Amino acid sequence: METKNERPIVIGVTGGSGSGKTSVSRAILNALPNHSILLFEQDSYYKDQSHLSFEERLNTNYDHPLAFDTDLLIEHLKDLMCYQSIDKPIYDYEAHTRSTEVAHQEPKEVIILEGILILEDERLRDLMDIKVYVDTEDDIRIIRRIKRDIEDRGRSLDSVIDQYLSVVKPMHSQFIEPTKKYADVIIPEGGKNQVAIDLLTTKVRSILEN
């Protein structure tokens, strides 16, 4: 496979649930139409829970580092960085476990790794060229999460609020917010911060061209 660079550029985009990580990631992707870019989501790497009962799966804390199969994520990221294709797992949110199906993924010039806890593991941080933290106020994030979980995941309002107060908020304070110190760039207001996104894409473009 012919490539411009010795290895792909890896951009890590993190922030709390509902912070606008995906909006920032897609803005970077759309700003670089002449380059091959891969959006690589940490959410695909939730651990397989097929050995647990459905009731046990419902109690999974998805905002804790141990919810993720980080070893497999690192293995796949390293393969992509060597321009090797992977078969990425697919997570079934209704069954609360990994699907039996996978998604074949070809390597690209730029890998945008997006997820709430991608800066929590030093091994992952060391693979990134640019680390971005999307910093959005708590009240905006909870509103976005309520809207997403009700509309896209069929959740009830009470269940979303209960989960936010009992799990999401404390896990954010304990594991996600502290990773801000590792970021090269902090973007307030997420995808609406066009100045920050322009600066970021200009930097990526200069790395690609040089």
Q: Is 17 annotated as a binding residue?
A: yes
User: How much is the pLDDT for 94?
Assistant: 85
The mean pLDDT values, 10 residues at a time, for the chain of 210 residues are 71 92 91 90 95 90 94 98 97 91 95 97 96 91 88 86 90 95 91 88 86
User: How much is the pLDDT for 50?
Assistant: 93
C-alpha–C-alpha distance, residues 106 and 198, integer Å: 27
Q: Decide: 113 and 15 in contact? Cβ < 8 Å.
A: no
User: How much is the pLDDT for 174?
Assistant: 95
- The contacts of residue 94 (CB under 8 Å, 6+ apart) are 154
Q: Is 18 annotated as a binding residue?
A: yes
Q: Is 173 annotated as a binding residue?
A: no
Q: Is 20 annotated as a binding residue?
A: yes
User: How much is the pLDDT for 93?
Assistant: 84
User: How much is the pLDDT for 3?
Assistant: 46
* Residue whose C-alpha is closest to residue 87's, from 106, 69, 71, 70: 106
Q: Is 191 annotated as a binding residue?
A: no
Q: Is 190 annotated as a binding residue?
A: no
pLDDT digits (tens, 9 = 90+) for 109-132: 999 999 999 999 999 999 999 999
CATH number of 9-203: 3.40.50.300
Q: Is 22 annotated as a binding residue?
A: yes
Domains of the chain, residue spans? 9-203
User: How much is the pLDDT for 4?
Assistant: 55
Q: Is 115 annotated as a binding residue?
A: no
DSSP letters, 120-188, are TSHHHHTT-SEEEEEE--HHHHHHHHHHHHHHHH---HHHHHHHIIIIIHHHIIIIIGGGGGG-SEEEE
Q: Decide: 136 and 142 in contact? Cβ < 8 Å.
A: no
